[in-house]
Amino acid sequence: MSKIGINQLLKMKQEGIKFASITAYDATFAKLFDDEGMPVILIGDSLGMVMQGHSDTLPVTIDDMVYHTRCVRRGTSKALVIADLPFMTYADTQSACANAAKLMAAGASMVKIEGGDWLCDTVRHLNRNGVPVCAHLGLTPQSVHVFGGFRIQGRDEQQAEEIYHHALALQAAGAQLVVLECVPAALAERITKALRIPVIGIGAGNATDGQVLVMHDAFGVTSGYTPKFTKNFLAETGDVRAAVRQYMAQVADGSFPGPEQTFN
Ligand code: KIV
Ligand code: NA
C-alpha cells in the first residue's frame, strides 16, 4: 500500500469501504499497525491516561504530544498520522497555529481539535497555513469537567441537533475529517450521510465511515473501567498482529462495533 492521504479516505467513503484506525504512542506499535495496513494512526492525548496514568487528558502538554508524535512518525511509513492538539493549546487562532506547527514539524500530517462551530475560524487559520484539521465532536474528553463526567452526548433532540450543525459548520470551514465520540448510533449515521468528509466513530455505532480505538482498549490491557464501546481483540485471537487484523476485518465487514458496543 502506498502512503495514505485524505483523498484515499474520501474515496473509501464514496465507495462505502469502511476503515479502521487506532491510537499509537511509540514507534514499535506504530510500525506494527502500519505493517498490518492500518490506514490511520492517531497520537491521541489519551496518552495522558494510558501512558502517563492521569485520570483525564487535561494534564497533557504540547511537548508531550510532540515527543510521542516523533516516536510514532519514526515507526510509520504509510498510514496517515494525526496528532491531537491538547487541552488549552488552541484557545485562540494564534496559539493553535503555533502549536500545530510543532506537531507538524514532529511528523503529524493532520491535527485534531475538540469542539464545535466556535472553532471554524481556527480551522480556517490552520488550513491557510498548511495544516489539515480533523474535528472531534460528541464526547470531547478535554471538556469532561463541563460535561460533569465521561458520558454519552447527543441523547436529547436539542443536543443532537447542535452536534449535527457543528459537524456541518466545521466541514464548511475546511475540516477534512470528523471524529464522533460516544453519541447515539442514529445521530452518527445521520451526520455521516450528511457530510462529504469521512466520519470516524468511537462509541458511535457502525454506520460511520471509519472507527477508532485506543490501542490499549483493543488489546484489553486497560485495567479498571473499560468503556462499553471497546472490544478486546487480543482475547479473541491470542496474538497482537492477529488482533489488529481482526479489528480491521470486523470494521470492514461492519461487525464491529456490534449492538453490544453501541449506544441507542
Ligand atoms: O485521544 C484519543 O485517543 C482520541 C481518540 C479516542 C479519538 O481522541
Ligand atoms: Na484525544
Report how far ligand 2's centroid is from the alpha carbon of 113 (Å): 8
Q: What are phi and psi of 113, to 5 degrees?
A: -130, 145
Nearest ligand 1 atom to the CA of 44 is 1
pLDDT at 1: 52
Contacts of 102 (CB under 8 A, 6+ apart): 62, 65, 66
Residue pointed to by grid coordinates 495544516: 131
pLDDT at 225: 80
This model of the complex carries an ipTM of 0.99
pLDDT at 222: 87
Classify 6-261 by CATH class: alpha beta
Candidates 23, 127, 122; CA nearest to 75 is 23
Spans of the chain, pLDDT less than 50: none
pLDDT digits 0-9 by tens, 164-189: 999 999 999 999 999 999 999 999 99
Report how far ligand 2's centroid is from the alpha carbon of 214 (Å): 9
Beta bridge partners of 178: 135, 199
pLDDT at 10: 98
Please state, in angstroms and rounded to a whole number, the distance separating the CA atoms of residues 236 and 222.
16
Report how far ligand 1's centroid is from the alpha carbon of 7 (Å): 22
> In testing the pocket of ligand 1, which one of 33, 45, 215 has its CB within 8 Å of the most ligand atoms?
45
* pTM listed for this prediction: 0.98
pLDDT at 174: 98
> In testing the pocket of ligand 1, which one of 33, 41, 42, 183 has its CB within 8 Å of the most ligand atoms?
42
Supply the residue whose CA is at minimum distance from atom 1 of ligand 1: 44
pLDDT at 223: 80
2 by Cβ neighbours in 10 Å (0-12 / 13-18 / 19+) ranks as: exposed
